[in-house]
Amino acid sequence: TFIIRPTLKEENTARSNKFYGVDSGTWDPASCGFEGSRGESARVILYAATAYYGTCGSGGSSNGNKPLELVDKTTDAQDNHTMGRLSTLLKWNREYRPNDMEKQINDYLYDHGYGRNPFVDNPEFAGRIWTNSGIRA
């Protein structure tokens, strides 16, 4: 499973495998002039963590049993299947609401047989699933 969204080569190269955030050692889309991509980035990751929960194995295979886990860390071992920084992703999801282009992409994907990203349609769903420290009990 891959977490993808349209991006410029420079943005993708700058991010590398860093977690998202504003802390040292993390990556922020605003650092490349894409502040508006903060919310979109967060929603793509939130979607992947729910849509593919329990289906991502080692190396991104679809036959593993280790889910993508969102953590409130700035880094983690790649084989732990984690992504963060959760508190920052939740904040960006709240503060940078879906724009018209993000909604159009969501509609296009749905119209062509793919699942909708519910966090584009209803960003508040993220707060019902996660707190800053993990999944709500």
The pTM of this model reads 0.82
Q: How far apart are CA 93 and CA 39, in angstroms?
A: 5
CA within 13 Å, CB half, 135: 9
Residue 62 and residue 67: Cα distance in Å, rounded? 10
- Asked, for residue 127, whether it belongs to a domain, the answer is yes
Considering the domain boundaries, does residue 55 fall inside one? Answer: yes
pLDDT at 137: 66
Residue 58 lies in a domain: yes
Let me know if residue 27 belongs to a domain.
yes
Q: Looking at the 3D structure of the chain, how many domains does it have? A: 1
> Is 4 part of a structural domain of the chain?
no
Residue 82: pLDDT above 90?
no
63 is a domain residue = yes
In a domain, 3, yes or no: no
Report pLDDT digits (tens) over 46-76. Answer: 998 888 766 554 444 444 556 778 889 888 7
Domain that holds residue 98: 9-135
Q: What is the pLDDT of residues 89-132, one digit of tens each?
A: 999 999 999 999 999 999 999 999 988 999 999 999 999 999 98
Q: Is 83 helix (H, G, I), strand (E, B) or coil?
A: strand
Flag whether 129 is in a domain: yes
